[in-house]
Amino acid sequence: MQELTLLKPSALKMLNQASVNANTFEAVAREWHANKIESWETRTAENVLNRLEKAIFPLIGKMPITDVKAPIMLDVLRQIEKRGALDMAKRQSQVCGQIFRYAIASGKAGIDPIPSLRGALKPGAKGHHAAITADGLPEFIRAFEQIEGRMYPPTRIMFGLMMLIFVRTSELTTTEWKEIDLEKEYWIIPWQRMKMGKKKLNPRKVDHHVFLPSRGWAMLRELHQYTGNNRYLFHNLRDHQKPATNFGILAAIKRMGYSGAMTGHGFRSLAMGVIKERLGYRHEVVDRQLSHASGDTYGEAYDRALFLDERKVMMQQYADYLGSVASGKVIAGKFGKAA
């Protein structure tokens, strides 16, 4: 009878380490991803892996999947919550749950910790457009910088303008060049195109002043080289006589990994939060720039008078704040007039 050959301790240690390396969270996740890839569209597969590589693998990728318990998983998802991406945290929770269930089925794990987190994550805002918070700006801007070089120039400019001036997407995409004076740096949207101006009952007949920072005017001058001979700033690619849609913005947000965590309308919520909380402006000043209805004649009069100069300064300071976030040198302060 042949005797069993015992492994030396060093060989046994190497064998155990190889088993651990094969069953790290990242290794199992990539195996799960490869198993699912044929059932997904190419872009879906890329987005799922990209989000794992950005938000999950750096934190727990090298850990044995059996060591990733509920408290660790909760801490990982809370890192995503801290940047304001509540819906994204929920989505990543769902993806990780699928990975754990795959690990259980393949004999590489025994427990899925995700169900234990029910009620521990922050709920996403209901009835509102998804939007990141001021705390999530640095990572959001970095994500945009990674894709902007591969974007169609007008789409890149549309995205940049949404960041800087936060008009409604429909108001931006239907803007005609005749509404803008590049030489005098003047842009007014006629009240008939504004949301409150389209009301059939008591429409708000106040033209909207779009105040651009210096960087915004530079963007428009660049855009004029591409679309200046057309009716709209952003025309439909198939029919230049029709305006573009906000599809380019939504596609960029998805490529950045923020699908479900940010929307075109979300730029307005983001701006209000930053300008009020970080720059210290009064609510009514920001409201006028967002073209919200004031509900009283006093507010309407201010829209045509005192707030105009203050809003112009505010918009430049907001652009400066975004620039400081992008450079990593954020300078917070109370720039606005206190209430």
Selected residue with higher pLDDT from 197 and 281: 281
User: How does pLDDT run across 137-147, given as a tens digit for each residue?
Assistant: 888 998 999 89
3 state DSSP class of 79:
helix
Please say whether the beta carbons of 213 and 320 come within 8 A.
yes
Mean pLDDT over residues 278-283, rounded?
86
Q: What is the rounded distance in angstroms from the CA atom of residue 191 to the CA atom of residue 207?
A: 4
Residue 325 contacts residue 141 (beta carbons within 8 Å): yes
Q: Give the SS3 label for residue 76.
A: helix
The whole-number pLDDT of residue 84 equals 74
Give the class (CATH, top level) of 9-117. mainly alpha
Which residues lie closer than 8 Å to 99 by C-beta, 6 or more apart? Answer: 25, 28, 29, 32, 65
pLDDT (tens digit, 9 = 90+) per residue, 111-125?
999 999 988 877 754
Q: Under the phi-then-psi rule, with left for phi > 0, alpha for psi from -120 to 50, and beta for the rest, what region is 132?
A: beta
| 270 and 132 Cβ atoms separated by less than 8 Å | yes
When pLDDT is averaged across residues 9-34 and rounded to a whole number, the result is: 71
Q: What global pTM score does this model have?
A: 0.58
Average pLDDT over residues 231-238: 91
Q: Is the pLDDT of residue 29 over 80?
A: yes
Whole-angstrom Cα distance, residue 33 to residue 173? 37
Nearest C-alpha neighbor of 49 from the set 63, 34, 66 = 34
Q: Is 315 exposed, middle or buried (0-12, 13-18, 19+ CB in 10 A)?
A: buried
Element (H, E) at 181: strand 180-181
pLDDT given at position 300: 47
Q: Where are the domains of the chain?
A: 9-117, 134-327
pLDDT at 124: 57
Banded model confidence at residue 93, pLDDT cuts 50, 70, 90? very high
pLDDT band at 233 (very low <50, low <70, confident <90, very high): very high
Q: Which two tokens stand for residue 322?
A: 């975004």
Which CATH homologous superfamily contains domain 134-327? Intergrase catalytic core (1.10.443.10)
CA gap 101, 106 in Å, rounded: 9
Q: Is the pLDDT score of 10 beyond 80?
A: no
The answer, yes or no, to whether residue 291 has pLDDT greater than 90, is no
Distance of CA 3 to the CA centre of its chain: 64
In the numeric block, the tokens 């195109």 are attached to 193
Are the C-beta atoms of residues 285 and 311 closer than 8 Å to each other? yes
